[in-house]
Amino acid sequence: MIYTLEYDYHNGMYETDWLDTLKRTGLEYKTLVNEMLTGEGAISNKRYLESNIDYLQNILTEDDYLLMDSAYINENIDAHSMSLSDAYKLIKEKLKYKKIIIFHPDNGEPLIGDDVHFINPQYNIDWDSDKCQSHYNIYINNTGKNKNRWLNMLISQRFSNMLRYKHFQFTNGVFKEHRTLLYGYLKKDGYLDKCFSSYVAYNIGNKIPTYDEHFESLKPNRLTNDDYNELVKDLPLILDCEWSGNVDQDSTVIPYSSNSYFHLVGCTNFNGYMGERFNDTYTSEKIFKPYLSWQIPIFFGEAGLYKTLDKLGFDTFSDTFDLSFDNEPNDLKRFELQYENVLKIAKLSRTEVHSMYRDRFERIENNFKQLERLSDGYVDSFKKMLV
């Protein structure tokens, strides 16, 4: 039997999650808890494991699987919930030798033993294409089964000959040094007028970090302290409405994505390649939104990201960009090399960019379709894992 501890991500964050894939397998399973977030029947998922570990130990046999969302073990600021380390200790002691699979939408893999399978949207750089494509990724699943897919496709195909208004879409939430650097370079070079731009920086509150505090690992060559102080006066830079508190994967910002050609992506992670990241590449929702939106992405992320995307079956447009920077472990140098690709596009006229986009339209469409192909493939991956 397959048992599940579920967490509802449909409250403005994700349209689909691992449970949707499990349902598509047709395998029989039994829900132990579904955390619905609100209402009188809501259960504190952070306390469930602590309160019910003996029950889980009694009902699970060595032939059963327990699938749980990482929300049941994540550390919570609530002092009344278990610490992360205590949750892991409890699992290892009480549920030893059980078949446990934990789905985690963020990065970082806890060291909790071979008896627990921990699945998150990270890819080891040594994995081959088959391994990468069969590895479940909540963000690929979410974009591959997005309910607005038809609208992105309809607009992109119906108005494919329309001259779009901007070269780039460049939308950002969290205040991070590589995003600030990219915004600063575009501002300094006079190319912000070619972008639909936002930089909400909702994480800094009322205290803006100083130049040295913000650029902890990236030391800008061209962006001075005065440039930075002038730049932060633009923040928060908002396109439509202020951040509402949810990641909101469903919102693909269609009015902007359908009216721009390239998507400048300041990835969730940028530094730490072959060091703290243990040769793993993390892929957040930001990686796959351009494919859903029929845009050509330009990623500012970890070294090796483009190799991972190649293995996942996406066209990275190596004939359009110089992708040699993807091998560069030095973060600032990698940033500077990728920015040269941005300049190459920024210096073109709208008609030239439009022609470049139209010439690659079938490949852009294939990237869109690859999202669903990968999502469909997760059904077989789950069956092989659970049968």
What would the pLDDT profile of 200-210 be if each residue is shown by its tens digit? 888 887 789 99
Side chain identity at residue 94, one-letter code: K
Pairing relationship of beta strands 122-124 and 280-282 according to DSSP bridges: antiparallel
* Structural domains of the chain sorted by starting position, each given as residue range(s) with its CATH number in brackets: 2-120 (3.40.50), 143-375 (3.40.50)
Instruction: Please give the DSSP secondary-structure letter assigned to residue 239.
Output: S
- What are the angstrom distances between the C-alpha of 343 and each of 187, 202, 296, 321? 12, 28, 15, 11
Strand runs (DSSP E) across 36-143, as ranges?
Answer: 65-69, 99-103, 116-119, 122-124
Q: Which residue's structure tokens are 């022609």?
A: 355
pLDDT tens digits for range 66-93: 998 887 876 554 444 566 677 778 888 8
Range with lowest mean pLDDT among 113-122, 217-226, 282-291? 113-122
Peptide bond into 255 cis (omega under 30): no
pLDDT tens digits for range 164-188: 999 999 999 899 999 999 999 999 9
Is-contact 102 118, C-beta < 8 A? yes
Q: How far is residue 91's CA from residue 88's CA, in Å, rounded to a whole number?
A: 5
